[in-house]
Amino acid sequence: MNFKADQPTFAAIVANWNGAAFVERCLGSLLAAARRAGRPIEIVVYDDASEDRSPDLIAQTFPCIRLIRGDSNIGFGAAVNDAMRHTDADWVFLLNNDLALATDFCERLLATLNEHHNEPLLAIGARTRDWETGAINHGGQRAAWRDGLLVQTPFESDTAAPADFFQAGACLINRRRFMALDGFCRLFAPGYWEDYDLAWQGCGRGWRVLYEPRAVAWHLGKGSMRRRLGNYGVSMVLRRNHLLFNWLNLCGPARITAHMLALARLVALDDAPPDQASWGRALASAVGQLPEVLSERRRRRRRSATASGEPSVPMTASDDGLSS
């Protein structure tokens, strides 16, 4: 593959936690996809202090892969942030440990990068399908303002298409721009919504996100997280982090007022089943992080004001969605 830009360098980062049941499948498929891509790709596995035998399996089965063993469990976002500091690649494939990549996965994302090399890309997201059924479990995602909340809305395409969000567990991302945004925000630990938050910030700087549906991986889906938290815990983190995403990124008194009214409706009308967290409980959990949210908002404003060479593009709402 002949890149039109000055030859970029590539790495792949897999964040692993207790992945003994599936990480070998992931890494085997990654090695095959990397070979087919025909370009050097450094492969790094960051083990987030696993409690099972997965780090030893990785070391024994894949001696060609660089394994970093974390001292303590810090969560997906922080693990990726740390791993990013262990490579100087220009572009990084970020991959969940419960993926099985199609053989042309890396090749397809690199081809799309080559086609759009003149654009200020932050990330190119891939399509993931359910490991067992083959149904799409994560595709293209755009942002919408709906009922007092910033939400993600799915879309599909046959070719690479503009998106507002990308899935951190199956994407190709620009490492310099990732680091310029200070990586994934720690408020979203142990995981979920940190990738949407990063994409939202990047789009505000004028960087672009693409969705490439022809790059496919099969995904177990919340494999490690569900083992750690259970169904109830996963639903709690998803709802709490959705609120934190809004609190970090909402601007303007009209939208903030509409959001506050929406919170009252969500709590009053909540009909969550017993195995799912209610909006009320998620709200209580998020409120506990409000001082950190306010501090992070101030920090982002300062960073945006001092950023040089990167335009700041405000987000504007329409009745049925958002555009940047």
| 33-86: pLDDT as tens digits | 999 999 999 999 999 999 999 999 999 999 999 999 999 999 999 999 999 999
pLDDT of 284? 96
How far apart CA 23 and CA 97 sit, in angstroms, is: 5
Task: Decide which of 223, 256, 273 is a domain's last residue.
Answer: 223
Task: Decide which of 203, 223, 243 is a domain's last residue.
Answer: 223
Domain co-membership, 217 together with 252: no
Weakly modelled stretches of the chain, pLDDT under 50: 5, 308-324
Domain co-membership, 211 together with 273: no
105 within domain boundaries: yes
295 within domain boundaries: yes
pLDDT of 221? 64
CATH of the domain at 69: 3.90.550.60
Domain co-membership, 103 together with 247: no
Domain co-membership, 244 together with 289: yes
> Which one-letter amino acid corresponds to residue 282?
A
pLDDT of 301? 92
pLDDT of 59? 97
251 within domain boundaries: yes
pLDDT of 190? 87
Domain co-membership, 159 together with 299: no
Domain co-membership, 53 together with 95: yes
How far apart CA 153 and CA 213 sit, in angstroms, is: 16
pLDDT of 16? 96
Domain, as residue range, for 183:
10-223
pLDDT of 115? 97
Task: Decide which of 171, 203, 223 is a domain's last residue.
Answer: 223
72 within domain boundaries: yes
Global pTM reads: 0.90
Domain co-membership, 74 together with 164: yes
Domain co-membership, 81 together with 113: yes
Domain co-membership, 157 together with 109: yes
How far apart CA 23 and CA 17 sit, in angstroms, is: 9
5 within domain boundaries: no
Element (H, E) at 215: strand 208-219
B/e letters for 286-321, b = 16+ CB within 10 Å, e = fewer, are beebeeebeebeeebeeeeeeeeeeeeeebeeeeee
Domain co-membership, 198 together with 135: yes
245 within domain boundaries: yes
pLDDT of 305? 80
pLDDT of 251? 92
Domains contained in the chain, number: 2
143 within domain boundaries: yes
Domain co-membership, 249 together with 300: yes
pLDDT of 323? 36
4 within domain boundaries: no
Domain co-membership, 100 together with 82: yes
Contact 121, 174 (CB under 8 A): yes
pLDDT of 162? 98
